[in-house]
Structure 1
Amino acid sequence: MNFTNKTVWITGASSGIGRSLALELSKQNTKLILSSRNEIELNKVKRECENSQNAKILLLDLENHNTMSSKVEEALLLFGTIDVLFNNGGISQRSLVKDTSIDVDKYIMNINYLGTVALTKAILPHFINKNNGHFVITTSIVGKIGTPLRSSYAASKHALHGFFDSLRAEVYQNNIKVTLACPGFVQTNVSLNALTGNGTPQNKMDGATKNGLTSETFVKLLIKAVKNEKQEVYIGGFKEKLGVYTKRFFPKLLSTMIRKMAVT
């Protein structure tokens, strides 16, 4: 596929991967709908985009599931159609299971999983009616491998894989594509904003995140995968990608490796 003159909706567009996606796609003469809860940051991203007149802002809170149908109606009024939805919004976690409130589990699942599902279901009739569309979902390597301190986050990302694998099979005849993108460590604010066991932000940058891929590098690889209509892609360092294949072929070995990980 080609992004030229396509209409692309990006959630989580105010920072990190979403911001880099917007900036990179703006170079490809793409019409952009930029969404998150932060209007101030969204306006900054819009101003940074090339051909910023082709970027529109639509405030969106993934926790408000019942508003998704009306948000899709608003989005369709902006450019008349939507070709690709990047489900990129979400929040992470840094806490042991024994220290994590069930309210934190619910909150993360409500945003990462149910918020993404609600928006997907709301836009799905549009894709079916035009017999074309592409869902791109930012999950995580921990959507394939659960690791310490990320139980709720890993659960929400695993759930996305199950849902979108099922959806892909259901809408194949409607020419609707699904790409699950699994980042490893990427240099964003994800660890700063990650929730601790009581629901407060960690406010600390993980060392692995700080040393990860730049969001610009990640996005270029992601866009290439989407253009090639990849069903699932792992984008990260050698060790992160190796972990996925070790889990597949040597699961007991990976379990041993994960147990020895530093809990930090």
Structure 2
Amino acid sequence: MNTANRTILITGGTSGIGLALVNQLSKNNCILVLARSHEKMTTLFGDRHNIHCYCCDLSAQPDTERTLGKIIKEHPDISMVINNAGVQYTPLLIDEDFELKSINEEIQVNLQAPLLLSAILIKHWRQHNQPSAIVNISSALAIFPKTSAAVYCATKAALHNFSCALNYQLENTCTQVYEAILPLVDTPMTSERAGKKISADTAATEIIAGINKSKKIIFVGKAKWIPLLSRISPTLVSKIFKKY
């Protein structure tokens, strides 16, 4: 699918991969940025006429539904959503300082929000028979979980399966579904983690290239090795990821 000359909604577009996607896609598109901080969006995009900002807490369903309704009303030509926003907490469930509220926030932001946005936009697109696309930003942790961040890994695994099943549902419609499987990317979320990381700009470039080539599953960076390693030695890969 061609990513040019579209109106594209990007969640979590004020840092990391989301910001890189906004910067690259804004060259020839109208970009709708959805994030929590109005101040940060104003600072980053205040003087860019083709970028429109919407403040929203994706962990709150009513706020998510209300904001998306406003977006559709103001930009009925929206034809792509990139579900990029995500949160990750690393304490183990067995740790004394583990907070139960973190479970809800991770599930709501990482999983519930992409499902809600997809469902609402699909209804809009079907009413107008509009060529469109859903892009879900996932992780290698969806396939090979690590010891820490169990809830995050679970949400990405669920998002992966949702993307696959939604692809089946929309097979003969005007809406395409893409999923990007990412390796370790240098973002604020991973700033305190060791390991070789790719830049957010590199990740964004590969995601966009994959969409333009209509790749249903876009393996980014070292994640390209996952299909092969899953066949050759899935046990070894699981042991490697377990250490993190």
Q: Same fold (TM over 0.5)?
A: yes
RMSD: 1.9
Match of 2:121 in 1: 123
Q: Determine the structure 1 residue equivalent to 2:15.
A: 15
Deviation at 1:61, TM superposition (A): 1.2
Equivalent residues of 1:33, 1:56 under 8 A apart? yes
What are the superposed Cα offsets for residues 161-187 of structure 1, whole Å, 9 maximum, x if unpaired? 111211111112212111111111111
Rounded to whole Å, the distance in 2 between the matches of 1:152 and 1:135 is: 23
State how far apart, in whole Å, the 2-side matches of 1:102 and 1:68 are: 22
Does 1:245 pair with 2:243? Answer: no
Partner of 1:89: 85
Q: How does 1:1-264 map to 2 (within 5 A)?
A: 1-27=1-27, 29-47=28-46, 52-99=48-95, 100-131=98-129, 132-192=131-191, 205-208=192-195, 211-237=196-222, 240-243=223-226, 245-259=228-242, 261=243, 263=244
Deviations along 1:126-174, whole A, 9 cap, x unmatched?
A: 1222332100011111011101212111000001011121111111221
State the SS of the aligned residue for 1:90.
coil
Using the aligned pairs only, state the percent identity: 22
SS in 2 for 1:2: coil
Inter-CA distance 157–248: structure 2 relative to 1 (3 Å threshold): farther
> CA–CA distance in 2 between the matches of 1:23 and 1:258?
32
Kindly state the Cα deviation for residue 241 of structure 1 after the two structures are TM-superposed. 3.9
In structure 2, stretches of 5+ residues that fail to align are none
Q: Within 2, Cα distance between the matches of 1:54 and 1:255?
A: 44
CA distance in 1, matches of 2:227, 2:72: 38
Alignment: residue pair count? 241
- Deviation of residue 243 (structure 1)? 4.6
Q: Distance in 1 between matches of 2:146 and 2:152?
A: 10
Superposition deviation, residue 244 in structure 1: 5.0
Q: TM-score, normalised by structure 2?
A: 0.91
C-alpha change, 1:69 and 1:25, in structure 2 (3 Å) is same
Q: Distance in 2 between matches of 1:247 and 1:5?
A: 37
1:145–1:247 CA contact under 8 A, matched in 2: no
* Alpha-carbon spacing, 1:42–1:248, altered in 2? closer, same or farther (3 Å): farther
Q: 1:159 to 1:226 in 2, by over 3 A?
A: same
Q: Which amino acid aligns with 2:91?
A: S
Unaligned ranges ≥5, structure 1: 193-204
Q: CA deviation at 1:45?
A: 2.7
> CA separation of 1:225/1:62 partners in 2, compared to 1, >3 Å: closer, same or farther?
same
Question: Once superposed, which parts of structure 1, at least 4 consecutive aligned residues long, lie more than 6 Å away?
Answer: none
Change (3 A) 1:129 1:142: same
Deviation at 1:11, TM superposition (A): 0.4
